[in-house]
Structure 1
Amino acid sequence: MANEANPCPCDIGHRLEYGGMGHEVQVEHIKAYITRPPADQGRAVIVVQDIFGWELPNTRYMADLIAGNGYTAIVPDFFVGKEPWSPSGDWNTFPEWIKSRDARKVDKEVAAVLRYLKQQCGAQRIGIVGFCWGGIVVHHVMTKYPEIRAGVSVYGIVRDSEDVYDLKNPTLFIFGEKDPVIPLEQVSLLTQKLKEHCKVAHQVKTFTGQTHGFVHRKKEDCQAPDKPYIDEARRNLVEWLHKYV
C-alpha cells in the first residue's frame, strides 16, 4: 500500500519460502523479529513491513540481508496485533481495512522500538528502512526523529500533505518506473518539493522497467534483464545505510 488516502492493490509478487535467521521478541506492547550481525558495531536498522505484515518471509529476508551487512535489524509488528492484508482478500474492502492502519500514526511503536534497541541491544546509531506501507512510515519518521540517522523508503511516499519535505536526516527514496501505485508524476513532484524544502542529503531514484514490490517481492525466476536492477537497488539501500548510519 503506497498511499492511505488513495488505496490501490499491491502486487504481492513472489512470497519467499524462507524461515529467517533471527528470532521473535516482545518489545513492550508489540512483537518483533530481530536478527543480529556477525559482529556488533552498535548500529541498528528498523525494518518496516508492507501491508502483508511483519511475518512476511520476504521482509524477514531483507532484515537478514541488512544484518549480514553489519546491523542489528528488527521488524516490529507495526499493525500491533491487527491482521495483515491477505493476498486472497476482497480488494473492495481494502479502503476500510487500511483506515485502522494509518502509516503516520506509529509514533508510539517507533518510540518503543527505539528504547528497545538502545537499552537491550546497545544501539548507538539507528536507521530505518521500509517497503510499500513501510515506505510511508519511513517518510513520516524521517520528518520527526532527528535521532534516526538515515532512512530508505522503498516504493512508499506520503502524499496529500505539505509537512513532509523537511527531512531531519539523509533519506533515499526508491521507486519502480512502472509502478501503478506510485505514478512517475508523483515521483517528480516529490523530487521537486525535496529540492525546494529539504536541507539534508537525499536522493530519489527510479529503476527502469520495474514495478511495485521489485526490491523485496520480485520472483526469483524473474527475467534476466530485471536482476541487475534488483541487485542494484538492494546494494544502494545498504550503501546508504553504510554512508549515514
Structure 2
Amino acid sequence: MNLLSLLHVTFGVLLASQTIDGSLWNETYPKGEVLRVDDLNIYSFSFVLTSQTIDGSLWNETYPKGEVLRVDDLNIYSVGTSNSDLSIIVIYDIRGFNITQTRVFCDRLAHEYSVHVVMPDFYRGTAAASNSSLIMTLLAEVNDWAKISKDLKTVADWLKESYKENQLGLVGFCWGGLQAVRACSNLSTLFFTGISIHGSSLTPAAVSQLQQPMLFIAAGNDPALKPDISSAIEESNMEISKKCEYHTYSSMRHGFVAASANYSNPDNVKAITDVHKTVRNYLDKLRNLSVSLSLNLYLLFTVVMFAFDFYL
C-alpha cells in the first residue's frame, strides 16, 4: 500500500470513532474500492457522518443494556441515568417482561434521550401465550386497576426516594397504553404525561377522564385515533386536548414498536426510529411548557410582591 492510500484509510477510520468488536474487526466499517490512477492502484475509502442507526443484524447490540432490580415483590428492568430529574416508566404489552424488542426500546430511549427508563414486571413472571383463549384469561387476571395503580405508586416512590427523580412520565404499549391512560386520569399528581404506542382498548369514555396530556401513536390496523379519541378529549377538557398529539403509521401493523418489531424489515426499523424522535420531541415540548409556566408564575409572584411592598 502506498503512502497516499495509507493516509486516506487512516483518516476515514479516525473520523468514524467507532469501537471495533474483536470478533467483527473486518466487518465494522464500510469497504472501499481499488481505483487506477496512472500507474498507481489506490484504495479509496470515504463515508458520510450520520446519526446512529440500528443495523438490522445487530439491533440487539446497538445500545447499552440495563439490569433487573428487585423492588418489593417487583422485578424492574432499569437502564440509563438521567441528566435531569426526569424518568420514564414503560408499561409493556401483553407479551410481558422478557421480550427483547421491548427492552431494546427502553435501552434506546435511555441512551438517546439521556434519561432513566424503568420497566416493572406487572405480570410477575407470566405472559400471554399464542392461544387467544389463554390471552383473554391472562387479561382478566392482570387488568385489575387497583393492583396496577399500587405497583405504579411503588415504582414512583422508589424513583423519587432512590434517584431523586421527581418528574415521571409513562410509555405504554398495547395493554400498557390503556394503563397509561388510566394513570394519567387517576394518578395525575404522580405523572406529568403518558404516551400510548399502539394502545389497545382505548375508548372515548376512558380518554375523557384524562387529567394530563398524552401522545397517542397508532399502527395502520389499529382503531383510528381521530375523530373518536381526539374528539372525546377535546369535549371533556379543552386545555388537556391542546397538549395532546396523534400520530398514525399507516404502513405498520399493531405491535411494530415493541413485541412484534421486525428489525430485519427496513421500513419497520425506519418507523421505529421516527417513533423515538416523535417521543423525544413530545417530551421536550411538554417539559419546556412546564418550565415556561413555572417561570411565568415566578415573575407574576415577584411583580405582585413588588407592588404590595410599593403601596405599603
1:195 to 234, 254, 261: 234
Cα distance change of structure 1 residues 90 and 25 upon mapping to structure 2, 3 Å threshold: same
1:165 and 2:205 correspond:
no
| TM-score when normalising by structure 2 | 0.65
Kindly provide the CA deviation profile for residues 81-131 of structure 1, in whole angstroms up to 9, marking residues without a partner as x: 151113xx3223322221001063411100000001000111021111011
Task: Show structure 1 runs of 4+ deviating over 6 A.
Answer: none
Contact 1:158–1:164 (CA<8 Å) still a contact in 2? no
Kindly provide the CA deviation profile for residues 152-192 of structure 1, in whole angstroms up to 9, marking residues without a partner as x: 10011444572532322221000012x2xx333x6531122
- Structure 1 residue 225 displacement after superposition: 4.5
Contact 2:181–2:206 (CA<8 Å) still a contact in 1? no
- Structure 1 residue 197 displacement after superposition: 1.4
2:187 to 142, 145, 152: 145
Match of 2:155 in 1: 113
- Structure 1 residue 230 displacement after superposition: 2.7
Contact 2:184–2:191 (CA<8 Å) still a contact in 1? yes
1:243 and 2:275 correspond:
no
2:229 maps to amino acid: L
CA distance in 2, matches of 1:96, 1:219: 27
CA distance in 2, matches of 1:58, 1:127: 20
Corresponding residue SS for 1:141: helix
5 Å-filtered alignment, 1:22-37, equals 22-37=66-81
Gaps of 5+ in 1: 1-15
Match of 1:3 in 2: none
CA distance in 2, matches of 1:158, 1:91: 16
Contact 1:20–1:61 (CA<8 Å) still a contact in 2? no
Match of 2:87 in 1: 44
Cα distance change of structure 1 residues 27 and 243 upon mapping to structure 2, 3 Å threshold: farther
CA distance in 2, matches of 1:155, 1:121: 30
Corresponding residue SS for 1:54: coil
| TM-score when normalising by structure 1 | 0.81
1:183 and 2:183 correspond:
no
Report the count of equivalent residues. 221
Cα distance change of structure 1 residues 143 and 31 upon mapping to structure 2, 3 Å threshold: same
Query: Which protein shows a greater Rg?
Result: 2
Corresponding residue SS for 1:65: helix
Contact 1:215–1:234 (CA<8 Å) still a contact in 2? no
1:70 and 2:114 correspond:
yes
RMSD: 2.2
Gaps of 5+ in 2: 1-58, 288-312
Structure (1/2) with the larger helix percentage: 2
